[in-house]
Amino acid sequence: MAIWVDENTRVLTQGITGRNGAFHTRQCLAYGTKIVAGATPGKGGETFDGKIPVFDGVHQALKEVEAEASMIFVPAPAAADAIMEAADAGIKVIVCITEGIPVLDMVRVKRFLVDHPAILIGPNCPGIISAERSKLGIMPGYIHKRGTIGVVSRSGTLTYEAVYQLSALGFGQSTCVGMGGDPVHGVGFIDVLKAFQDDPETEGIVLIGEIGGSDEEAAAAFIKENVTKPVVAFVAGRTAPAGKRMGHAGAIIMGSSGTAAHKIETFERCGIRVAENPAVIGEAMKRALDEAKR
């Protein structure tokens, strides 16, 4: 089945006429994603590559075409408004790739989404892909193979590494969700874990966390109480110094709070297998699946 997007999902690209929006829209189309429209203010009436209609906004687009999901490639100063525009128009799954959105802008978005239910993935994320069905984002599609492993991650590049290992070992993926590492974001680990637990196609789960915040600890507790499928976790940032921001805006630790060691300890205390380094994520998943079959 996969979660949230599949081969039937109709997608609209916000910022389709920009450099990044245009490039990745073409990549998604080549993967098989059903992109039915684009939206760029002032570009209404044009077409993208001579076949996809472009509208001035999402509301205008949905008067002419049906779409359930949106990809956002809008510059950071306008990205929060783009998210809220999509939600207000009735888009159900919103994938915001844009990085550098001000934290206070995202606070406004979070409050807005309370009254406008939508699944928001991101911002500052690689997106979501249901392998060999639909890709909404910037991940390299060719490494993904259809199968039964769900992947959820705060790190884009580590997602790709885990997927490559899984595919090389013959373990395809159901859906991969790159939720991004910003401190204020859309879906979190628990949202995705719930969806994977309920998805009959997903038989195992890879969770990739990072230093900073307490999302991983909350996810570990949720897994212990609610997830019956094998889970393998990896936490990046074992050697990160306290008090320094490391890449993502959310990747900062203070004292013992948010450290990789504390997150790993929590996973292990909850009975969750932890990969020692990123090179063995695939092998760890293989062992977890083998043990589950015994």
Based on the fold, state whether residues 146 and 284 are members of the same structural domain: yes
Based on the fold, state whether residues 116 and 160 are members of the same structural domain: no
Based on the fold, state whether residues 115 and 146 are members of the same structural domain: no
C-alpha distances in angstroms, 264 versus 61, 234, 238? 46, 8, 9
Task: For residue range 160-197, list pLDDT tens digits in order.
Answer: 999 999 999 999 999 999 999 888 999 999 999 999 99
Based on the fold, state whether residues 148 and 269 are members of the same structural domain: yes
Cβ contact 158:233 at 8 Å = no
Based on the fold, state whether residues 91 and 194 are members of the same structural domain: no
Based on the fold, state whether residues 28 and 82 are members of the same structural domain: yes
CATH (domain of 275):
3.40.50.261
Residue finishing a domain among 121, 149, 176: 121
For 276, counting Cβ atoms within 10 Å of its Cβ (0-12 exposed, 13-18 middle, 19+ buried), the class is exposed
* Apex 15 CA angle, 150 and 55, nearest 5: 115
Cβ contact 206:281 at 8 Å = yes
For residue 1, tell me if it sits in a domain: no
Is 59 considered catalytic here?
A: no
Range of the domain at 34: 10-121
Task: For residue range 99-146, list pLDDT tens digits in order.
Answer: 999 999 999 999 999 999 999 999 999 999 999 999 999 999 999 999
CATH (domain of 18):
3.40.50.720
Q: pLDDT value at position 82?
A: 98
Q: pLDDT value at position 242?
A: 63
In this structure, the strands spanning 127-130 and 134-137 are antiparallel
Residue 43 has pLDDT above 80, yes or no: yes
Based on the fold, state whether residues 97 and 203 are members of the same structural domain: no
Catalytic residue among 24, 144, 248, 262: 248
For residue 2, tell me if it sits in a domain: no
Mean residue pLDDT of the chain comes to 94
- With a CB cutoff of 8 Å and minimum separation 6, the contacts of 204 are 148, 149, 150, 171, 229, 230, 231, 232, 285, 288, 289, 292
Based on the fold, state whether residues 233 and 275 are members of the same structural domain: yes
Number of domains within the chain: 2
Based on the fold, state whether residues 91 and 28 are members of the same structural domain: yes
Task: For residue range 205-264, list pLDDT tens digits in order.
Answer: 999 999 888 899 999 999 999 999 999 999 987 766 665 555 555 555 555 557 889 999
Based on the fold, state whether residues 167 and 95 are members of the same structural domain: no
Based on the fold, state whether residues 43 and 155 are members of the same structural domain: no
* Maximum Cα–Cα distance across the chain: 60
Based on the fold, state whether residues 32 and 90 are members of the same structural domain: yes
The answer to whether the predicted template modeling score (pTM) of the entire model surpasses 0.85 is yes
Residue 292 has pLDDT above 60, yes or no: yes
Residue finishing a domain among 57, 92, 121: 121
For residue 49, tell me if it sits in a domain: yes
For residue 129, tell me if it sits in a domain: no
For residue 96, tell me if it sits in a domain: yes
Cα separation, 179 vs 153, in Å, equals 6
